[in-house]
């Protein structure tokens, strides 16, 4: 257990990278969106009050997670940490990160509600399906998708370390074929309306907790299998 904790702490040697960069990006997005809403008066206009800018945080965390594997795994192996220990330490930190982001986003969402959307009627930190009334549930709803993004980043990093650029290219092509194939199938069945109706009927727990947790578990299992054959 001590070695797993050491592997987790390894990621925090430069906290400004793993924590500072995502927050710098999302706060920049927040400031830009706030300025647009304030100048254009969008809060008083009909239509959705969510900006979608919070996605920048999730994407930034994914990218940082990729780098945490590609940059730190060789060093970890150089100081005699096994691949298994490194992965478990990374997974432990990822879980703590997801919880921390969930708490932070819930606090920011509460402030957002108390200030009527930061004074401009803007909903930034918990848009659309991610908004629930229960504070504890809000932590999970905001944190579970983050967990999926973190493990997706770890998985991409493992693919790169295992197969290099060819692996990333192959993964990209596979994703295009899968998503494209699903789109073609749904179009052929003329089922887009049924699909959107099904999604609309699902609860926030299913969409924001169940599906992300399942995705995180699947990607984590595949990444663990792949990391065991990674070379420095």
Task: Give the model's pLDDT for residue 49.
Answer: 65
Q: pLDDT grade, residue 195 (50/70/90)?
A: confident
Residue 44 has pLDDT above 80, yes or no: no
Per-residue pLDDT, averaged over 9-34, amounts to 91
Q: Report the alpha-carbon distance of residue 218 to residue 207 in Å, rounded.
A: 16
Residue 200 has pLDDT above 80, yes or no: no
Task: Give the model's pLDDT for residue 212.
Answer: 93
Per-residue pLDDT, averaged over 175-202, amounts to 84
Per-residue pLDDT, averaged over 98-110, amounts to 95
- The secondary structure of the chain, three-state, reads CHHHHHHHHHCCCCHHHHHHHHHHHHHHHHHHHHHHHHHHCHHHCCCCCECCCCHHHHHHHHHHHHHHHHHHHHHHHHCCCCHHHHHHHHHHHHHHHHHHHHHHHHHHHHHHHHCCHHHHHCECCCCHHHCCCCHHHHHHHHHHHHHHHHHHHHHHHHHHHHHHHHHHHHHHHHHHHHHHHHHHHHHHCCCHHHHHHHHHHCCHHHHHHHHHHHHHHHHHHHHHHHHCCCCC
Per-residue pLDDT, averaged over 104-123, amounts to 92
Give the mean pLDDT of the chain: 89
Task: Give the model's pLDDT for residue 230.
Answer: 81
Task: Give the model's pLDDT for residue 216.
Answer: 95
Q: Report the alpha-carbon distance of residue 164 to residue 140 in Å, rounded.
A: 34
Q: pLDDT grade, residue 15 (50/70/90)?
A: confident
- The residue among 157 and 195 whose pLDDT is bigger is 157
Q: Report the alpha-carbon distance of residue 141 to residue 131 in Å, rounded.
A: 8
Measure CA 102 to chain center. Answer: 11
The lowest-confidence range among 8-12, 102-106, 130-134 is 130-134
The pLDDT tens digits for 64-87 are 999 999 999 988 888 888 899 999
The lowest-confidence range among 22-31, 35-44, 57-66, 97-106 is 35-44
**CA-to-CA dists, residue 110 to 84, 105, 201, angstroms:** 39, 9, 26
Per-residue pLDDT, averaged over 133-157, amounts to 94
Q: Which residues contact 86 (CB under 8 A, 6 or more apart)?
A: 7, 10, 72, 73, 76, 77, 227
Q: Report the alpha-carbon distance of residue 30 to residue 36 in Å, rounded.
A: 10
Q: pLDDT grade, residue 13 (50/70/90)?
A: confident
Among 94-98, 170-174, 190-194, the range with the most confident prediction by mean pLDDT is 94-98
Task: Give the model's pLDDT for residue 48.
Answer: 61
């Amino acid at each position: 257990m001590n070695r797993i904790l050491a592997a987790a702490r390894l990621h925090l040697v430069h906290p400004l990278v793993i924590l500072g960069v995502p927050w710098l990006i999302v706060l920049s997005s927040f400031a830009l969106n706030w300025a647009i809403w304030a100048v254009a008066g969008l809060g008083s206009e009909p239509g959705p009050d969510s900006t979608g800018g919070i996605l920048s945080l999730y994407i930034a965390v994914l990218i940082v997670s990729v780098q945490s594997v590609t940059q730190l795994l060789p060093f970890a192996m150089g100081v005699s940490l096994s691949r298994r220990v490194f992965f478990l330490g990374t997974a432990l930190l990822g879980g703590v990160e997801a919880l921390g982001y969930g708490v932070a986003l819930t606090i920011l969402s509460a402030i957002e509600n108390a200030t009527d959307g930061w004074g401009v009627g803007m909903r930034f930190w918990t848009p659309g399906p991610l908004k629930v009334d229960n504070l504890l549930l809000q932590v999970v709803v905001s944190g579970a998708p983050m967990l999926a993004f973190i493990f997706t980043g770890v998985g991409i990093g493992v693919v790169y370390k295992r197969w290099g650029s060819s692996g990333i290219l192959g993964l990209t092509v596979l994703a295009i074929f899968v998503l494209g194939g699903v789109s073609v199938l749904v179009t052929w069945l003329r089922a887009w309306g049924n699909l959107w109706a099904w999604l609309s009927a699902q609860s926030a727990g299913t969409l924001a907790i169940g599906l992300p947790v399942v995705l995180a578990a699947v990607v984590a299992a595949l990444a663990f299998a792949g990391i065991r054959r990674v070379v420095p």
